[in-house]
Amino acid sequence: MDLIESVHGQYVHKRRTSVLSGWCSRLIPFDSEVLDVGCGDGRLARLIADMRPDISICGIDVRQRKDSAMPVETFDGKSIPYGDGSFDVVMFVDVIHHADQPMTLLREAARVARQAILIKDHLVEGTLAYLTLQLMDWVGNARHGVSLPYNYWTLARWHEVFDKLRLNITFWESDLRLYPFPADLILGRSLHFIALLGTPGQGEVPHST
């Protein structure tokens, strides 16, 4: 397990965090107040804040880690403890598939976000997709005591959820290049996406590619 953790930390986690911070920093609207739900150790949020000094970002999670890179408030994993429209953007990075009640959490995000919801998560698409995602989840999260329900959705299910919550896709990308070659051929593929979603009341917007 120590060897797996070492390889994951050096070869996967640092690269993933760096790439995702780049995607998020490009997608978050200017001068936004951002809530990072399920922020983990806070390192991703810290990198984004360093890249984007125009935004303010805070984090909540179901537990606090001793090595957190930023202050983290705890919550119950279901109800976001802020009032309606408290933030411009609510962000979920690999969080929804860990939630016991993902629809409840997304509804809460739509309530709290004034402008948009930013989601990075997984897609169950392609050969051995589910098993690959399970393995990645276990290696990356089991040692931190993170809940692992392996609740991954297909592309069709994600779109069904967005329609039900009246979330408009303003940006979608599934070729994230999260891992170095050749690992990305196995761990990347069509298993990941990042999306920026306009919340109800933001008006109709065209899909982006």
List the chain domain ranges: 2-198
In this structure, which amino acid lies at residue 185? Answer: L
Alpha-carbon span 107 to 122, nearest angstrom: 19
Q: What is the pLDDT of residue 144?
A: 62
Q: Which amino acid is present at 100?
A: D
pLDDT at site 149: 75
Q: In what order do the strands lie in the sheet with 168-173?
A: 72-74, 56-61, 33-37, 87-93, 113-122, 192-198, 168-173
The tens place of each residue's pLDDT in the chain, 209 residues long, gives 443 344 444 456 778 899 999 999 999 999 999 999 999 999 999 999 999 999 999 999 998 888 889 989 999 999 999 999 999 999 999 999 999 899 999 999 999 999 999 999 999 987 778 787 877 777 766 566 667 778 899 999 999 999 999 999 999 999 898 876 655 555 656 788 999 999 986 543 333 33
pTM, rounded to two decimals: 0.85
User: What is the CATH number assigned to the segment(s) 2-198?
Assistant: 3.40.50.150
